[in-house]
Amino acid sequence: MNLILVCLSFSLIFPISHCALQKPPPLPILPIPTASQVQWQLSSMALFFHFGTNTFTDSEWGTGRVDPSVFNPTRLNTTQWVQVAKDSGFNRVILTAKHHDGFCLWPSEYTEYSVKSTSWRNGSGDVVKELSLAAKEAGVDLGLYLSPWDRHEGCYGKTLEYNEFYLGQMTELLTRYGEIKEVWLDGAKGEGEKDMEYFFDSWFSLIHQHQPGAIIFSDAGPDTRWIGDEAGVAGSTCWSLFNRSSAQIGNTDPIYSQGGDPSGHDWVPAECDVSIRPGWFWHASEVPKSAIKLLDIYYKSVGRNCLLLLNVPPNSSGLISDEDIQVLKEFSELRRSIFSDNLAGNAILNASSTRGSIGDSRFDPYNIFKEGIYTYWAPEENVSDWALHLNLQESVSFNVLQVQEPIYMGQRIMAFHLEVLNEDGDWRMVINGTTVGYQRLLHFPNVESQHLKFVIDKSRADPLISYLGIYMDQFSIVNSAFHRSSPANINSSQVLWQAIHNHSTTASI
Ligand X SMILES: *[C@@H]1O[C@H](CO)[C@@H](O)[C@H](O)[C@H]1NC(C)=O
Interface contacts to ligand X, rule CB under 6 A: 77, 79-80, 83, 121-122, 243, 246, 261, 263-265, 315-317, 319-323, 326, 350, 381-382, 389, 391, 415, 432-434, 451, 478, 491, 493-495, 498-499, 502
Nearer to ligand X, 9 or 498 (CB): 498
Are 143 and 96 contacting, i.e. CB atoms less than 8 angstroms apart? Answer: no
Nearer to ligand X, 9 or 506 (CB): 506
Smallest distance, ligand X to C-beta of residue 85, A: 11
Reported as half-sphere exposure (CB side, CA atoms, 13 A), residue 377 has a value of 25
CA distance 300 to 101: 31
Smallest distance, ligand X to C-beta of residue 316, A: 5
Nearer to ligand X, 185 or 478 (CB): 478
Nearer to ligand X, 334 or 499 (CB): 499
C-beta atoms surrounding 11 within 10 Å: 14
Nearer to ligand X, 102 or 260 (CB): 260
Nearer to ligand X, 164 or 261 (CB): 261
Smallest distance, ligand X to C-beta of residue 249, A: 16
CA distance 189 to 501: 47
Nearest 10 degrees: Cα torsion 103, 107, 111, 114: 30
**Which residues, other chains included, contact 161 with Cβ-Cβ below 8 Å and sequence gap of 6+?**
155
CA distance 395 to 391: 9
DSSP bridge pairs for 93: 47, 142
Smallest distance, ligand X to C-beta of residue 391, A: 5
Nearer to ligand X, 56 or 162 (CB): 56
Smallest distance, ligand X to C-beta of residue 450, A: 9
Smallest distance, ligand X to C-beta of residue 320, A: 6
Nearer to ligand X, 44 or 240 (CB): 240
DSSP bridge pairs for 96: 145
Are 495 and 479 contacting, i.e. CB atoms less than 8 angstroms apart? Answer: yes
**Which residues, other chains included, contact 115 with Cβ-Cβ below 8 Å and sequence gap of 6+?**
68, 71, 104, 105, 106, 107, 121, 123, 125, 126, 127
Dmax of the chain from CA atoms?
78
CA distance 257 to 271: 10
CA 157 to chain centre: 33
